[in-house]
Structure 1
């Protein structure tokens, strides 16, 4: 059994050329060799235009097939390209994961009039107006698709709120009024801003029975149309958790029993994350935001950060079997609303902390692997990520022993197992050069270990008792493996 590794195969600033699905299909062999087992693909659904990254969702039934919003293809390509990329991954035993955006819709086809109350953006429980009538772009009838696959049309009563009043040409946060309207129940939603049901655009009302039935129908269509293996759920912090738990349960009971799912709950709070996991009955994984924020802080503080606390309050520590660990993603990269970009000097260390350990499912960010161009450019770390993935694929197995006994220099060993007997000794420092006394077990006595990452040039001979002193350069990472175990 090979360790699992996921890659987020997109970043925010990819070119709007319709070639991304083709690039992914062409890259499938390389990803397989790298040891990638899951690929998180960007949203494939028609958005507000060809330059939409995929989160300004317009039509869930248009995968780049119909002329809508000024384009047939999406930013990433056509429906045929999407299916070809999925097939290329599956043929190589890699699971394709679809990014599912259910929280909202954008780019309505026509305006409708309805009653609202304006609320305080910083406390959505506080009403700052009396009921009054506005116009909103809430009628979605998808003229380019002409009811192909589904004749469901969206109206104002399928939404809980919106942020633009077209009648008075004003922006704000407007809660839609009507029978059984209002935000999701407080106990089912994140309580930031009083009640964080509303995020952006036209916010979908999951309480409405027509919405719930329609989304189940869509799930049947989507999973029967494309051979996707998993879902990444966008913005679950803003979606009624009872609905989402029931929705995933329904899919597994009636459509795809083995569907893999992980959700984006962006919250730097272990309490809130574990509370959410319990509320959804541990049905799917979550991205480990707390660990990412620890990496961000460590990169900012340098030697003043205590590395012994690097996993504190993270899902990797408290619920590792439900943690998708990451260093960077499209939300945290430069120029984005949740920008918390990890310092470049610390990125190799951060990736070592997720790829060279056995807890969680590590996810590599496309922008870190291939780099980012343009105004928010960032460096590519392909060389070191290739090395870390090689070590993860061949050496990160067996008993894991931590040596977290110094605030600036920590290490751990993986002692190997029957299938992968060659283990690894990892050391990292956020200050000056140092070393870590660690044991690789008596079975490795007398063996010569080298730093596969090439940061330390010397060789280390394991003592007769299995112990050795493993060095590390300042502000660096070293991964020591048996010299004779190298696969040439």
Structure 2
């Protein structure tokens, strides 16, 4: 009996503690969703997941240039997995019918038919339907610059003027970029009204047949701006909310910004990609690059927050490989880079396998088959934390961006939206660092949402923060709770009662 009584007394304080009302970190209710709020998971269809073995024609997983079996059904089966990571949209490489060995989707043979290795039109429709059931959006990759190497139109005498004259891509003049044959691929003459109309019809076909939410536009700089203006007008006459994400592969922000006049909603931010990779591939590197790119974007774009950030993709060496080559822990490097990407004002795109993290060098090595059994739990947890924060706090998707500190690999910046303020701290240095941040709201505290750190005010509007090497934190500026004396007294009283009860029982036990 005495033992049971002692156990009961031990349990009571903890039950009371757990039942005490706790206030969670909150946020204002978000405004109606738009693409600023989206987080995109980028999938190379053939290399993601094999959901239907019946369409495995000439699959050879040992040949990096062959089909490996991934298909639309595989994407459908993994939608719950992608959603569990927190992503709200997917972008898929082209699913149009390709010529042999076109596993990547960019050697198109028929612009209005699904590649048989990937499934059927019914599968494409069902994919969009299933994504929408999960409140997820879908982007199809759309190609207008070229066809496959052996397209039937090349032998059609009625379509001789559907292609530009064959010539190698030599130089960077606009004429060369827009008329030469990229990688030897037949270059479509989009200035020809018949070609333009065919491509408009193809776009309309996919929108109306599948209900897809947007296109990622391949090789934008290789097609005249006038075509893109008309293309934008056409697709938005069908669906005013249709989203266009353009690839202008340029290192200069100014060159990319020049395409904003076409009406394309967003562009993948190659200058930021270069800067993120250079800074975060190794501890001790400066963070000046990513910060300066954003400052340039603010000056050059009407809507810089509508750009789309990425850390690696199907055309470049995987970030994991860069970390390994620099003798770094890839998971540590990824956590820092992702924290920056998801807390700065652009739409984040994550290449499939980042959560593993997949390794890979140059093409074709950067397109390995996804390994769902090898995902790193620490990295997955960080991704889930970051996607959750972007959903909860509009300051991360709509807020202003202000740099607070940036010196020798240690940086801090503030995101503010209405009455909500977040402070992000990144320590890319090789040792623990401290800083004092000023010009912040007074009489508040900074509560960390990644590690539960608390930073308190040391002077009016000034807060001191210590950050371990290669670590980061996202702080919410909130009311200063200080020490919660009523709560501490409550818990202390329960504990004191518990101690007294134990003493009394012990004395009774000795007397007996």
Is the shorter-chain TM-score for this pair beyond 0.5, marking a shared fold?
yes
Counterpart for residue 350 of structure 1: 337
Q: CA deviation at 1:436?
A: 3.2
Q: CA deviation at 1:17?
A: 5.5
Of 134, 154, 158, which aligns to 1:138?
154
Q: Judging by fraction of residues, say which structure has more strand.
A: 1
Deviations 1:68-116 (A, max 9, x none): xxxx333xx3332222111111223222111101111115365xxxxxx
Counterpart for residue 437 of structure 1: 436
Residue 413 (1) aligns with residue 414 (2): yes
- The structure that has the greater radius of gyration is 2
Task: Write the distance in 2 (CA, Å) between the matches of 1:105 and 1:448.
Answer: 54
TM-score by length of 1: 0.71
Residue 285 (1) aligns with residue 266 (2): yes
Task: Write the distance in 2 (CA, Å) between the matches of 1:30 and 1:327.
Answer: 21
Q: CA deviation at 1:228?
A: 0.7
Which structure 1 segments of 5+ residues have no match? 65-71, 111-136, 141-152, 163-172, 176-182, 336-340
What do you get for the CA RMSD once the two structures are aligned? 3.8
Which structure 2 segments of 5+ residues have no match? 1-30, 50-66, 320-324, 481-512
Deviations 1:297-327 (A, max 9, x none): 2235642x43234232456444214411111
Deviations 1:177-216 (A, max 9, x none): xxxxxx9x9657748xxx7564432111112222122222
Q: 1:14 to 1:36 in 2, by over 3 A?
A: closer
- Match of 1:203, SS state, is coil
- Match of 2:132, SS state, is helix
Q: 1:30 to 1:301 in 2, by over 3 A?
A: closer
Counterpart for residue 306 of structure 1: 286
Q: Which has the higher contact order (CA 8 A, sep 6+)?
A: 2
Task: Write the distance in 2 (CA, Å) between the matches of 1:90 and 1:297.
Answer: 37
Task: Write the distance in 2 (CA, Å) between the matches of 1:272 and 1:472.
Answer: 37
Q: 1:13 to 1:448 in 2, by over 3 A?
A: same
Of 186, 205, 208, which aligns to 2:192?
208
Residue 8 (1) aligns with residue 8 (2): no
Residue 249 (1) aligns with residue 233 (2): yes
**Retained in 2: the 8 A contact 1:410–1:436?**
no
Q: 1:428 to 1:217 in 2, by over 3 A?
A: same
Residue 26 (1) aligns with residue 77 (2): yes
Task: Write the distance in 2 (CA, Å) between the matches of 1:458 and 1:322.
Answer: 31
Counterpart for residue 161 of structure 2: 157
Q: CA deviation at 1:404?
A: 2.8
Aligned positions of 1:116-135 closer than 5 A: none
Counterpart for residue 403 of structure 1: 404
- Match of 2:114, SS state, is coil
Q: 1:484 to 1:24 in 2, by over 3 A?
A: farther
Q: Judging by fraction of residues, say which structure has more helix.
A: 2
Residue 73 (1) aligns with residue 54 (2): no
Aligned positions of 1:78-477 closer than 5 A: 78-108=120-150, 138-139=154-155, 155-162=159-166, 173=167, 190=177, 198-253=182-237, 255-278=238-261, 280=262, 282-299=263-280, 302-303=283-284, 305-314=285-294, 316-317=297-298, 318-319=300-301, 320-334=304-318, 344=330, 345-357=332-344, 359-372=345-358, 381-395=379-393, 397=395, 400-415=401-416, 417=418, 421=420, 423-431=421-429, 432-438=431-437, 442=441, 445=444, 447=445, 449-450=447-448, 452-454=449-451, 459-462=454-457, 465=460, 467-477=462-472
Q: 1:442 to 1:221 in 2, by over 3 A?
A: closer
Deviations 1:365-393 (A, max 9, x none): 22313543786569864232112212222
**Retained in 2: the 8 A contact 1:308–1:404?**
no
Q: 1:196 to 1:265 in 2, by over 3 A?
A: farther
Residue 52 (1) aligns with residue 110 (2): no
Q: 1:373 to 1:23 in 2, by over 3 A?
A: farther
- Match of 2:154, SS state, is strand
Task: Write the distance in 2 (CA, Å) between the matches of 1:473 and 1:188.
Answer: 52
Task: Write the distance in 2 (CA, Å) between the matches of 1:81 and 1:92.
Answer: 17
Counterpart for residue 92 of structure 2: 41
The more displaced of 461-470 and 216-225 is 461-470
Q: CA deviation at 1:355?
A: 0.7
TM-score by length of 2: 0.68
**Retained in 2: the 8 A contact 1:199–1:238?**
no
**Retained in 2: the 8 A contact 1:429–1:476?**
yes
**Retained in 2: the 8 A contact 1:327–1:347?**
no
